[in-house]
Amino acid sequence: MNRESASIAKITPPGVADIVQRERLFSLLDKGRDTSLLWLSAPAGSGKTSLIASWLESREIPCIWYQIDSGDADLATFFYYLGQAEARMNRRKKRLPLFTPEYRPKTETFTRRFFEELCLRMSLQVPDGSEQCPVLVLDNYQELPQDASFHSMLQHGIDALSKGCTVIAISRYGFPPPFARLRANRRMALLGWNDLRFTLDESLEMLHRDGSGMELGEAAENLHHLTDGWAAGLVLMKESILQQYHGSSISDSHAQQEMFDYFASEIFGRTPADTQRFLLMTSFCPSLTAGMAERLTGMSGAASILTELSRNHYFTYWIPGNTPVYQYHPLFRDFLRARARGLFTASELSGILQSSSALLLEMNSVAEAVELLAESRDFDGIVEVILVSAQSLIEQGRNRTLLQWLSHLPQETLERDPHVLYWQGVAVHPFDLRAGEQSYSRAFHAFIHTCDTTGALLAWSGIGLSIITEWKDFSRLDQQIVWLTADMEQQVDALPQDMQARITGVILLSFSFRQPWHRNVVFYEERAEALLRHGALKFESLLTIGNFLLLHYTKTGQLVKAKVLLDIIDPPTRKRGDTAGLELVLWRLLSASYHGLTASKKECLEGVALALDCADSTGMHVYDIYMLFYGALAGFIDFERKVVDGFLERIAALQGAEGLIYPIVNNQIMGWKHILAGNSQAALEHVETALVLTRSLGAPVEIAINVIARAQLLSELGRQEEAGRSLDAVGTGNAIHCAYVQYMYWCIMAWMEFREKDRAGGMQHLQQAMQLGSQHRIMMHHFWNPRIMAALCSRALEADIEPEYVRALIKRHRLAPQASHAESRDWPWPLRIHTLGRFEIVRHGERLVFSGKKQEKPLSLLKALIVHGGREVPADWLCEALWPSAMGDAAYSSLKMALSRLRRLLGDDHLVEMREGKLSLNRSMCWVDAWAVTGSAGRIDARLRREEDGITAARDNSLAGLVDEMIRMYAGEFLSGEKTEYWEINFRSRLQYAFLGAMKAFCAGLERAQCWDTALTYYRRAHEADPLAEEIYQRLMVCHNRLGQKAEAVGIYHLCRTTLQAALGITPSSQTRKIYHSFIQDK
């Protein structure tokens, strides 16, 4: 092939000879012309190219056909051949511009101008008066790499198209991310595999085109089901089956044929004519009584015939009971039915079938009756049965049975009765949301046409629920809300309460997912609550509205109301939930979501497991992705990686499923995981992907959640201005009216303001967040970051903001305080160890009581760990200190036993850790007063050193508060009253030195500031801590003297002399005597 031929092939549409004209899809393509981009995606061999080519020919639409290959990743190549295609179409000499290198810096500008001119030139080919606008077809789009710049280029080109011009992309895959904006703005239509697969009629038409359909017979239908409507599969497998079909039947076995022969010769042929007629007429009832047989045949001897057949075992079974029931053997029944169809006229056969179905209906054998009505083509009879039985079938979870009945009806019968369309939507909804929505939509408009408001409301609720559950485009709910006129809303009150419950719930959810700020939200909340509390609802309706209301509450963060709702509905659910089908699956899921948002990890995981089990048992997996999300959320409560990774792996396995929820959830979980791992840049990439998807979804609450997370990460990365703009967008948006969004927004706003040293702003938003969280009991949110929340909780405890709620947050998440608050006594530590003035262990607020010698070594081990700071204490040193007389392995075994006992005593294996021969106390879970005093003393010294003279720091009330707290903690000598070990002595001295050093430094600053009264008070408290510290006596004398209290100063000197003589056998130092004599002389 020469180059010219190759270029012509690249820009020439395929032939369409002898192609099945698929009007079903032509209509969809016609509707897609209203958009700028029509995206066709399906597997290879699905007939995509043939479909578009035949449609264009059928509609006489002018087009440029362009076959993409990998070379078009170079934009210059694409613009070159596209220019050639236009020139060939219009026979023009003046070509469109080439994409030469100078245009590359301005690719967007070039592309827009190119497509504007292309569209103009193509429009010249449209005949005057024609309404058909030109089309650009891009075939084999999948040949382009995913990261090709072609995608963004084409997006700019599509933006430049004039109204009516359409680009059609044919691909094996879904559209690339750059086109998400077009989809979100409703400028893009999609046709996928579910649309393109051949229907049975289309398959048969294709097979009949060469006569093979006639040869295949019933195998043609089998072939359709076997290939699932795949065009290539039909063609490829047809020949293989034909080769076998001429040799022997593919439907009947030799044994079956021999049995039929036996029936004909041995039984039926020897039977009297009236009995033969009896057998033929009764063969269409799978089970029948003698009375039924008599009514059907008019023969009074029916009972005798059936009894004799049964007695002689002539393939007739007798089922005993008050009224005996008879059944023919299946092969015998099939034989009789085949003979009946050959002997009776069409009119006679139809009468028999209808009479048999009527008898079966009387016996409540409804399914069998429907099959006979279908064979007799009594479609009105099937409709009557469906309208009577549909509600009970749905309540029983028998959706597929109802769908099977509906499948017997021709389309014109379905469209004639909107009630049938409605039940079709109800039946298919759990398995195919879009098909359900389409049935509901057709029913809604038909009800409106017939002025049936009740039917219209029911169909309206079905459409809304399909849109919400599908998670593809919530913007379609805007039209739903518009359709919900005031007149329709007034009719809700006139409906039966069970209908009210369903419709009220869907209205409320439509607001929650699309317009949570709507003025009627509270009204519908109250209406739903009233129906739950005071309505006489069936269990199924109770569960339905309970689901809708619980979803609304959890989505908007109203968790106190959610808890009340759970308490109302959970008891009856546990008793009768096994028959509730999809509603039970959803209830289990929503219960788990409540426990997740209240940070109840155990209950959340149990709820998710129950929901998944329920989905498995019912076969309804519509909500699996949500269950997996909340399972991962439970893992994030205390960041248990194994739990998170387990659910993330299952989420990844669902990525091929339809709906935006799958990639959104996957990116949110991945982003969250990176946040907790400290990888902010990777987290930002996932969060921004999720944000793009949620924007295309049109979900305000979900958009706000991702924007807040993005702002948090931008702040982490130092991009403060961008972060601020993101948060401002949320703060001024409508979604901020949702409590859940408010809570996230105020938390992150407070955190960012604290980072930027805006303490006033931070405290204001922190108080708002904690008050809101306390009000609604919000204990968890998307992208929860324990480091951020620990910092906020520390500040909240310091400021006494909602302390009970804040402590509950800390306990639920096992939050560890920041380094600056690592010794805070206000923190709700799981374990508190008091060593100053006493030895006491408090676990979760309860003091542990020890008895007997068996606890002596475990407690000694604990004391030794405290003395050495609790971090990586060598096991060898512990063995030597605690078991000095034991030999190597024996000492180590004793250590392991003591460690095991200590862990049991403390009630948590994570409190004491052993790694690589070193033991540590988990300081994020354990508070020790001695460590807290040491830490406070260090911070006091550091604060004083930052001021040159210490005067300003000494006058700082916050510093005085820190000193007061240190004094309260220093309740006495280290391990006072306990047996003293040699390895404690040095630590005790260092602790006392740190305490007194901080006190003296603080009081010295007070003296320089001439705050003598205050200095005197603190020196007295230091003296109480160490009565032998001579320097404290000196400063007490000075302070009394400065205050003019000479007698008190003299008294302090005499107390010092007496104490030192009695305790140490020494006299006061020269410095002390000098101070004493100085104020004696002054006196």
Task: Give the model's pLDDT for residue 564.
Answer: 92
Residue 1046 vs residue 263, higher pLDDT: 1046
In this prediction, residue 646 carries a pLDDT of: 92
Contact 292, 359 (CB under 8 A): yes
Task: For 782-833, write each residue's pLDDT tens digit.
Answer: 999 999 999 999 999 989 999 999 999 998 898 888 766 667 778 888 899 9
Report whether 464 contacts 509 (CB < 8 A).
yes
pTM confidence score: 0.62
- Backbone phi and psi for residue 91, each to the nearest 5 degrees, phi listed first: 55, 40
Which stretch of 364-378, 618-632, 738-752, 1042-1056 has the lowest confidence by average pLDDT? 618-632
Tell me if 919 sits within 8 A of 899, measured CB to CB. Answer: yes
Among the residue ranges 319-323, 550-554, 929-933, the one predicted with the least confidence is 319-323
> Residue 949: its pLDDT value, please?
53
Q: In this predicted structure, what is the pLDDT of residue 93?
A: 60
Q: What confidence tens digit (pLDDT) does each residue in 68-125 have?
A: 877 677 777 788 888 888 887 877 667 787 776 456 656 787 788 888 888 888 887 7
Burial category of 981 from C-beta neighbours within 10 Å (exposed 0-12, middle 13-18, buried 19 and up): middle
Residue 703 has pLDDT above 70, yes or no: yes
The pLDDT of residue 241 is 54
Mean pLDDT of 502-506: 90
* Residue with the larger pLDDT of the pair 758 and 849: 758
Question: Which residue would you say has higher pLDDT here, 147 or 138?
Answer: 138
Sheet holding 926-928, edge to edge: 846-847, 840-843, 831-834, 926-928
Q: What domains can you pick out in the chain, each with its CATH number?
A: 3-196 (3.40.50.300), 212-245 (no CATH), 254-377 (1.10.10.10), 655-815 (1.25.40.10), 831-928 (1.10.10.10), 929-1082 (1.25.40.10)
Segments of 112-209 assigned E as strands? 135-139, 166-171, 188-191
Q: How confident is the model at residue 296 (pLDDT cuts 50, 70, 90)?
A: very high
Q: Give residue 910's pLDDT.
A: 84
- CA 922 from chain center: how many Å? 33
Classify 229 in phi/psi space as left (phi over 0), alpha (psi -120 to 50) or beta: left
With contact defined as beta carbons under 8 Å apart, do 115 and 157 qualify?
Answer: yes
Q: What is the band of 952 on the pLDDT scale with cuts at 50, 70, 90?
A: low
Where residue 769 falls among pLDDT bands split at 50, 70, 90? very high
Percent of the chain exceeding pLDDT 90 equals 39
pLDDT digits (tens, 9 = 90+) for 447-457: 999 989 889 99
First CA to last CA across the chain, in angstroms? 123
797 versus 958: the higher-pLDDT residue is 797
Which has more confidence, 592 or 225?
592
Higher-confidence position of 217 and 208: 208
**pLDDT 10s digits, 392-418:** 887 776 777 888 899 999 999 999 999
- To the nearest whole percent, how much of the chain has pLDDT over 70? 88
Instruction: Count CB atoms within 10 A of the CB of residue 140.
Output: 18
Mean pLDDT of the chain: 84
Query: Per-residue confidence at 638, pLDDT binned at 50, 70, 90?
Result: confident
pLDDT in tens, 717-759: 999 999 999 999 888 888 888 999 999 999 999 999 999 999 9
Model pLDDT, residue 121? 86
Question: Any residues with CB less than 8 A from the CB of 1058 and at least 6 apart, and which?
Answer: none
Burial class (CB in 10 A: 0-12, 13-18, 19+), 956: middle
Quickly tell me which residue has 């009297």 as its tokens. 272
Asked if residue 131 has pLDDT above 70, the reply is no
Per-residue model confidence as pLDDT tens digits over 328-374: 866 677 888 888 988 899 999 999 999 999 998 888 888 889 989 99
pLDDT surpassing 50 at residue 559: yes
Question: What is the pLDDT at residue 145?
Answer: 85
